[in-house]
Amino acid sequence: MPSALDPELRRALAARIRYYNELGIYDFYRRPLSDCAGAFASAIAVDDPEADISQPTLETGEEMSPRKAAAVAPPVAEENIFDAIAPKPEQSVGDPVQALKIIREDLGDCTRCALHKQGRKQIVFGVGNPTAELMFVGEGPGADEDEKGEPFVGRAGQLLNNMIKAMGIEREQVYIANIVKCRPPGNRQPERDECATCSPFLMRQIAVVKPKVLVALGATAAKTLLAMSASMMQLRGRFYDFKPAGVRSNDPNWDGCKLAVTYHPAFLLRDPRQKGEAWKDLQMVMKELGMKAPAKSTE
Ligand code: URA
């Protein structure tokens, strides 16, 4: 659709729409395309004299306060700006297994970002209980995950399994996914545009699973989900109210969830001294979910 729009203006409009979505505002009037660009921009200016649609997006690694960051939307890949507010096809399906299948089919043999031609063997969609109360989100598949097509099956996955067990539950009871679904070459961090391109599918998965608590594993997951940049020290230790960006809940009983940030298991493998801190994060999550840790075996 509005391909005539200047890319900068399109990005600014998409960011503004996401911002309004996050405030719970979804309904916008659409003018005919011919006068769309100018009219939409001026409508925003009239409705909200404070609006600054030229607000720049964040640079990777840029530090900012959570307060300021909360109002900044993530970078938006070239997309139809109204996709963000259109109902998603899976939302008319009651069965979460079917709904997830629709999202997977929508992904197809994805070529939306550069990762598809950088050696990925397969797309790693997500795994687990489609109605889980607890969902974990990592960064992206590694070699083992790329081989098996399942998230967190390598060494970091073993540790994640142990963390889940320590909470008194099994891996099968939670849902696990990643910010990007294709393996970045050499296990490099996914680029910002790769996260921005892939994460709308994750947002849709979250909206289907409807967890009570979402745990972001590591900085990439935390920064992408929260659309903010801050250190892990600043991000951990509290809950955030989270609504999947660009997805309007069709369930009156689910209007988002709590999000907690903890260390990525791969980081904990490198620095096991931080395991105690991660356990504190998980205890906070357990408390929120009314879970009790299993009694320690004395054997
Ligand atoms: N690291 C991640 O972030 N995700 C995986 O699936 C595996 C390792």
Q: Per-residue pLDDT tens for 139-167?
A: 999 999 999 999 999 999 999 999 999 99
Give me the percent of the chain exceeding a pLDDT of 90. Answer: 67
Report the mean per-residue pLDDT for the chain: 82
Beta bridge partners of 258: 213, 241
Write out the H or E segment, with its range, that includes residue 178: strand 175-178
Determine the 3-state secondary structure of 44 from DSSP: helix
**pLDDT for 145:** 98
Mean pLDDT of 77-95: 75
How many whole angstroms separate alpha carbon 125 and alpha carbon 26? 28
Cβ distance 209 to 257 under 8 Å?
no
CA distances to 84, 100, 102, 146, 258 from 125, rounded to whole Å, are 21, 9, 12, 10, 22
**pLDDT for 293:** 78
Residue 133 in contact with ligand 1 by CB distance below 6 A: no
- Name which of 50-54, 68-72, 76-80 the model is least confident about: 50-54
Q: What confidence category does residue 288 fall into, taking pLDDT thresholds of 50, 70 and 90?
A: very high
Decide which of 62 and 216 is more confident.
216
Q: What confidence category does residue 19 fall into, taking pLDDT thresholds of 50, 70 and 90?
A: low
**pLDDT for 249:** 86
**pLDDT for 294:** 82
**pLDDT for 219:** 97
- Name which of 42-51, 128-137, 203-212, 254-263 the model is least confident about: 42-51
**pLDDT for 90:** 96
Q: What confidence category does residue 287 fall into, taking pLDDT thresholds of 50, 70 and 90?
A: very high
Model confidence at 292: pLDDT above 50:
yes
The rounded Å distance from CA 138 to ligand 1 centre is 5
Model confidence at 54: pLDDT above 90:
no
Residue 134 main-chain phi, psi, to 5 deg: -125, 130
Residue 152 in contact with ligand 1 by CB distance below 6 A: yes
- Name which of 30-39, 52-61, 71-80, 255-264 the model is least confident about: 52-61
Q: What confidence category does residue 13 fall into, taking pLDDT thresholds of 50, 70 and 90?
A: confident
The rounded Å distance from CA 62 to ligand 1 centre is 24
Mean pLDDT of 111-116: 98
Residue 126 in contact with ligand 1 by CB distance below 6 A: no
Decide which of 222 and 8 is more confident.
222
Query: Measuring CA to CA, which residue among 29, 286, 280, 277 is closest to residue 169?
Result: 286
Best residue among 121, 152, 223, 262 to mutate for probing ligand 1, ranked by most atoms within 8 Å of CB: 152
Residue 224 in contact with ligand 1 by CB distance below 6 A: no
**pLDDT for 82:** 61
Best residue among 144, 182, 224, 264 to mutate for probing ligand 1, ranked by most atoms within 8 Å of CB: 264
Please report where in the chains the tokens 């011919």 appear, as a residue. Answer: 34
Other beta carbons within 10 angstroms of residue 195's beta carbon come to 25
Contacts (Cβ under 8 Å, ≥6 apart) of 213: 133, 134, 135, 239, 257, 258, 259, 260, 285, 288, 289
How many whole angstroms separate alpha carbon 161 and alpha carbon 217? 13
Model confidence at 53: pLDDT above 70:
no
Residue 211 in contact with ligand 1 by CB distance below 6 A: no
Q: What confidence category does residue 78 fall into, taking pLDDT thresholds of 50, 70 and 90?
A: very low
**pLDDT for 86:** 79
Residue 256 in contact with ligand 1 by CB distance below 6 A: no
User: What does the DSSP 8-state code read for residue 69?
Assistant: H
The crossing angle, in degrees rounded to 10, of helices 36-47 and 7-22 is 40
